[in-house]
Amino acid sequence: MIIATTTLIIVQVVVVGCVLWMNPEPCPRKYRVTQEHGGVLANMSDIHRYCELDYGGKFMLKEEFIEEINDAQQRLKD
């Protein structure tokens, strides 16, 4: 009984970890923090250059930056 419970907990942790790892952030941290903290924003109000607010109240990365990231990833593969 204890082994089955432990196995079930381990499986749940692995499944939840995979779901969280496979689901990327809608607006990556790089575009949400200022330059002092490793981001690209000069000040916090610049977030609207890179991300737009959706109907759920979350910031989503704009399409032009998604395409830019995809192009960079393709160049790295080649």
In a domain, 32, yes or no: yes
Task: Determine the pLDDT at residue 77.
Answer: 81
**The CA-based dihedral angle spanning residues 78, 67, 24, 75, taken in that order and rounded to the nearest 10 degrees:** 10
In a domain, 44, yes or no: yes
Exposure class string for 1-15: b at 16+ Cβ within 10 A, else e: eeeeeeeeeeeeeee
Q: Could you tell me the pTM of the whole model? A: 0.54
The pair of three-digit structure tokens given for residue 49, joined into one six-digit string: 């250059």
In a domain, 20, yes or no: no
In a domain, 66, yes or no: yes
In a domain, 77, yes or no: yes
Residues 6+ apart with CB under 8 A from 50: 27, 31, 40, 41, 61, 62, 65
In a domain, 8, yes or no: no
Q: pLDDT tens digits, residue range 3-32? A: 788 888 888 888 887 776 776 678 888 888
Task: Determine the pLDDT at residue 29.
Answer: 84
In a domain, 13, yes or no: no
Provide the number of structural domains found in the chain: 1
In a domain, 18, yes or no: no
Which domain does 46 fall in, by range?
25-78
What integer is the mean pLDDT of 54-71? 83
